[in-house]
Amino acid sequence: MPRTAELLAHDPDALSAVAAPTLAVRVSQYLVAEIQRGRLRPGQRLPGTRALAAELGVERDTVVRAVDAMRAEGWLTSRARAGTFVAAELPVVSVRKPRTTRVAVPERAAFSRPTLPALGIESIPKGAIYLGGGVPDVRLVPREALARAHRRILRNSPRTRLDYGDPRGDVSLRRALATLLREERGLAVGDDGLLVTHGSQHAIDLVARVLVRPGDRVVVEDPGYPPIRDTFRLAGASLVPVPVDARGLDVAALAKVCARGPVRLVYVTPHHHYPTMAVMAPERRAALLALAKTHRFAIVEDDYDHEFHFGGRPVLPLASADAHGSVIYVGSLSKMLAPGLRLGFVVPPRELLEELVRVRFASDRQGDHAKEAAVASLIDDGELARHVRRARRVYLSRREVLVEELRRALGDRIAVEPPSGGLAVWAGVEGDVEALRDRARARGVMFFVGRDFTFDHRSIPYARFGFGSLDEKEIARAVRLVGGASRGRAPRAR
C-alpha cells in the first residue's frame, strides 16, 4: 500500500480547488473527500501534522485545526504515542436530498386565539421620499468610531460581553447614561437606578406590563403618537384621550377625567409634543405633578429627542422636579445615534425598577451588552457629544430650508413656524389636507397629516413634515413635489 504522504501528494492543485470559508475548513473537507473516495482507508495512519502541513503547503496550525475538527466529527481517531488514524467506523453521510414536502404551511390555525385590538403599522411605500415623522439621518452617525469601539470590546472582553449578563444592561452604559442624566437633565440617578432597553417603545411596553391591568384607564395625548396607544391597548388598557394645544397637555381637562374615576397612568411628551412639537408650559408641568400626587397616577414621560432643541437650553424633564415618585422617565438614543441600534432607557421610582427588571428578564432576558459597551465608550470619550453638536447644526440648517421651501411651494395655503426643537414641523394647511397627502404620495413623497394622529381619526387641517433624514437638496426636491401636488400638476418623469 502506498504511503499516506504519497497519496496526498498526487495532485498539488486539488486542495486549492476546494471551496470553503477558511483554509482549515478547506483542508478538512479535502481530507474527508480523500477518505470518501477510498484513497485514505479506515485504520490508515496519517503523517504527523508537521509532515502533513509540508505536503499540503499550509501552516501547521491550519492542519492542527483541521485534524481537531475531523476528530470531533468522527473521521479520525488518535492513540497516545501511536498517532492519528482514519477512523475504523466512518460517519454515516447521507447523500440523498431530503424529499420536498407536499404540505404547504397552513393558512389558518387549528387552535383558538384571542382577538388582537386593531393595530396601526407605519408603512413607507418602496422608493418614496420619506418627508415624515422626524427621524434622524443615519448618514451622520460616526460609524467608524462606533465600529472601532465595537471591535475593541469584542477583542478585549468577549467573555463578559458575549455571555449572559445583567438584564438591567451593561454597567458601562448605565454608568455613562447616569452621568449624562445628572449633568444634562437634572436627574439624580446612579447606574443602579436605570434599565437599558431596546428603545423607548420597549421601555414603555415594560411599564405597561407592570402597571396596567385590563380595564385600567390610561390617559393619552390627542393628537398623539399612535404606536404608544397600541402598546397600552395590548396591555388591556381603556384609553382616555386628553387634548393638547400650543401649551401642551390640557391639565384642566385631565383633572375632569380624574374626577370621573381612577386613572392608572398618564402618557406625555412634554419636551416636544408628538406630533405638534409644542413645549408644555411651566404652570401645566407643575399642575400635572400636583394632580399626579393627589390622584396617585403614574406619569410616563417620553423624552424622545431631548438633545435637539434649537432655541436656548432644553427644558428640564418633569422627572427632575418630581419629589414624590410619580414620574417614570423614558429616553432614547435613537435620535442621538440611529433608530436601528435600538437603545433606550427607563428611570422609574426605585421600587418599580426591580419589577421592570423581572418582566424584562422573563420576556427578553437582556440586551446586546457588546453594543451597549461600545456606545458607552462613545459617550465616555466625548464622541457622542461631538456628534450631537455637529448634528444639531446640520438639523438647524435643514429646518430653515424646510420652512422656507414649504412657504415657497404652498404660499398662503400653509402656516408654518420653525419649531424650537425636534426633527419635524407641524404646519396648518388650508383645504383638503388628506387629498394633498394622497396626491403627493402618488408623486413619490410621503408625509403625515393630522388625521394620522388624532385619537378618533377625525380630520384636522395640519400636516407633519420631517427634516432630519433628508439633506437640503432632498428636502427642496420633496417639497417641490408636494407643491406640484397642491396645484394638481402631473409629476415629472424621473
Q: pTM to 2 decimals?
A: 0.79
CATH number of the domain encompassing residue 22: 1.10.10.10
The range of the structural domain enclosing residue 400 comes to: 129-134+387-486
Is 244 a member of any domain?
yes
- Whether the per-residue pLDDT at 152 is higher than 60: the answer is yes
CATH of the domain at 375: 3.40.640.10
Other C-beta atoms lying within 10 Å of the C-beta of residue 152: 13
Q: How far is CA 235 from CA 35, 37, 206, 227, in A?
A: 60, 62, 10, 13
Q: Mean pLDDT, to the nearest integer, of 304-328?
A: 90
pLDDT at 98: 57
Is residue 108 a part of any domain in this protein? no
C-alpha cell at 316: 428640564
Q: If you average pLDDT over every residue of the chain, what do you get?
A: 90
Domain containing residue 440: CATH number: 3.90.1150.10
Instruction: Evaluate whether 272 touches 134 at the Cβ level (below 8 Å).
Output: no
> Does residue 219 form part of some domain?
yes
The reply to whether 380 and 449 lie within a common domain is: no
Query: Which segment, 6-15, 66-75, 121-130, 441-450, is predicted with the most confidence on average?
Result: 441-450
Residue 374: what pLDDT?
Answer: 96
Name the domain boundary from 337, 361, 385.
385
The pLDDT value recorded for residue 81 is 82
* pLDDT value of residue 193: 97
Residue at 107 is within a domain: no
Last residue of a domain, one of 369, 385, 401: 385
pLDDT tens digits, one per residue of 386-418: 999 999 999 999 999 999 999 999 999 999 999
Number of structural domains in the chain = 3
CA proximity to 439, closest of 476, 483, 403, 404: 483
371 and 393, same domain (yes or no): no
At 494 the pLDDT is: 44
In terms of Cα–Cα distance, which of 166, 94, 125, 214 is closest to 364?
Answer: 166
Percent of the chain with pLDDT over 70: 92
Q: Are residues 55 and 149 in the same domain?
A: no
Q: Is the pLDDT of residue 17 over 60?
A: no
Q: Kind and range of the H or E element at 218?
A: strand 217-222
Residues 366 and 393 in one domain: no
Span 293-306, average pLDDT = 96
